[in-house]
Amino acid sequence: MIKVGIIGAGSMGSGIAQVAAQAGHEVVLFDTNTEQLDKAKAKLAKIMARLVEKGKIDRVTADGIEKRVHYSNSMNGFAGAGLVIEAIIENLEIKKNVFKELEGIVEETCILASNTSSLSIASIAAACDHAHRVIGIHFFNPAPLMPLVEIIPAVQTDENITSAARRHHRLMGQSNGFNQRYARIHCKSSSATFLW
Ligand SMILES: NC(=O)c1ccc[n+]([C@@H]2O[C@H](COP(=O)([O-])OP(=O)(O)OC[C@H]3O[C@@H](n4cnc5c(N)ncnc54)[C@H](O)[C@@H]3O)[C@@H](O)[C@H]2O)c1
């Protein structure tokens, strides 16, 4: 299990936090807006209560999932993370600034991923000193229910980072029985679909 950092506690960030915590990872969910953090916490509690009510999980499991998500209005909690997934506003300049700041906080081995739907991963990576560890990991909405995850390497992305990103998501999908995840790998010149 690793520490997973998530930037942005909106629709996507809160859902990705749930997926990672369900898989047993420690999660740090960061947002500059504390109201969004409060909303994300309340939303997770409501979802867990519903799953317990329906008999899908027991209360102890639900408590464990909720406790694994830590809410923060600073990125400093990302120190020691193995993977950080960015899910903020769809704006290239803002994302680039966030990635630059992130590099000053996490270790060199940490994978930096963006959940962007439309922006170029290569452009985001170009803002980083260590562009080889930047990758797109694109969840669909709502993340806890949608089985598809796209892994999108940029031209700068190291192949080992692509493999590691796939491995992390295989772990997320298989360790809890809630999801069976699929991934479409967009390679530089071709694309192929893999069942995890
Ligand atoms: N909503 C979807 O259906 C969907 C699906 C797949 C991918 N995406 C992508 O995921 C990303 C997030 O989308 P969303 O729908 O969750 O957005 P959202 O508006 O619901 O949430 C964005 C969150 O980011 C926070 N934020 C903004 N700037 C920030 C900063 N500099 N630092 C920290 N937090 C900041 C906001 O406070 C907000 O809570 C986008 O890149 C989007 O393209 C969205």
Q: Torsion angle, CA of 38/95/24/181, rounded to 10 degrees?
A: 120
Contact 139, 172 (CB under 8 A): no
What pLDDT score was predicted for residue 186?
A: 41
Residues with CB under 6 A from ligand 1: 7-13, 31-33, 36, 87-90, 94, 98, 115-117, 140-141
Q: How many CB atoms lie within 10 A of CB 117?
A: 13
Residue numbers in the chain where pLDDT is lower than 50: 174-196
What pLDDT score was predicted for residue 177?
A: 29
Residue among 31, 76, 92, 93 to mutate when testing ligand 1 (max atoms within 8 A of CB): 31
What pLDDT score was predicted for residue 152?
A: 95
What pLDDT score was predicted for residue 141?
A: 96
The most distant pair of C-alpha atoms in the chain lies apart, rounded to whole Å, by 48
Contacts 24+ apart (CB under 8 A), 50-57: 56/178
What pLDDT score was predicted for residue 193?
A: 30
Q: What is the atom index within ligand 1 of the atom nearest the CA of 139? A: 6
- Residues whose CB falls within 8 Å of the CB of residue 132, separated by 6 or more in sequence, listed in order: 156, 157, 158, 161
What pLDDT score was predicted for residue 182?
A: 42
Side-chain half-sphere CA neighbours of 99 within 13 A? 31
What pLDDT score was predicted for residue 168?
A: 78
Q: What are 86's strand-pairing partners?
A: 7, 114
What is the DSSP track for 105-158?
A: TS-TT-EEEE--SSS-HHHHHHTSTTGGGEEEEEE-SSTTT--EEEEEE-TT--
Protein residue whose Cα sits closest to atom 37 of ligand 1:
33
Cα–Cα distance measured from residue 117 to residue 161, given in angstroms and rounded to the nearest whole number: 20
How many residues are recorded in the chain?
196
Contact 25, 152 (CB under 8 A): no
User: Which pTM was predicted?
Assistant: 0.91
